[in-house]
Structure 1
Amino acid sequence: MSSIPTELRYAKSHEWTKDNGDGTVTIGITEHAQEALGDVVFVELPDVGTHLSKGDEFGVVESVKAASDLYSPVTGEVLEVNEALEDAPESINESPYENAWIMKLRLDNPEDLDVLLSADGYKAFLETEN
C-alpha cells in the first residue's frame, strides 16, 4: 500500500493538499498516482496568477506509459509553482509529498479543505478502486 501521510487532505482525483496554516495550501499528486503512472517524464505547470475553481484542470503529468490531467482540489489563486519539476519531473516518483509539490494556492474558501478526504478516507477510497 502506498504511503498516505495523515497531515494531508486528498481528492478522489489523487491530488494531495497541505494546509500551510496561513490561508495558503500546497498541492501535489499522491504516491498512489505516481505509482500508477510509472516513470514521470514531463509535468505541465499552471501559470502563477491563474485563478482556479475546485475541479478545474490545471496541468498534466506525463509518464512513459500514460498522461494524466491534474485537477484543483480547492478554489484559489496560484501563488507559486515548483519550477524544479520542469528540469526534474522524475522527482515526482522519488518524493511525491516533499520535494515534488506542484503548486501553492491562496485559498478563496478555507472550507474547501473540509470536503477533502482524510488519510483514512483516501485509503478506504483506494480500496474501493481496486
Structure 2
Amino acid sequence: MPLNCGSQLAVREGSGSRLFCWVIVCLLGVVDSGVTQTPRYLIKARGHRVILRCSPMSGHHSVSWYQQTLGQGPQFPFEFYENMRRAKGHFPGRFSAQQFRDARSELNVSSLELSDSALHLCARSFSQPC
C-alpha cells in the first residue's frame, strides 16, 4: 500500500544557499489513502509557479485541499464536489484549483512567496460534503 503524506513545498530566496524548509514526519504509518499526490517534495525559487496534482481511487466525488504551515493548524483553501467548486478559503488570488471530469485535481500557486512553504494535502470522499 502506498504511503502518502501530501506534497511538501519549500520556497527558497533567490539563487542563494538560504533555504526555508522543514521535514514533515508522517506518523500514520503505511495506509491506503485513496489518493496519490505528486510531487511529494518540491523546492522552488520565490516568484516561480507550482502545480500540485491529486489522483483518486475510482468512485470519489469530493476533493478538498488543505495547507499546513509549520506550527499552524491546517487551512482550507478549496473544496470540490463533482467538478464544481463548493468552497474557497481565504487565500490570495495566486492560489487556484480545479477538479477534472475523471476526478483528478490540481492546486496551482503562481508567484511563489516564502510564506507558501507548507505541507499541502488532498483529501477525497465518496459522499457530498455538508
TM norm structure 1? 0.34
Is the radius of gyration larger for structure 1 or structure 2? 2
| Greater helix fraction, Structure 1 or Structure 2 | 1
Return the TM-score normalized by structure 2: 0.34
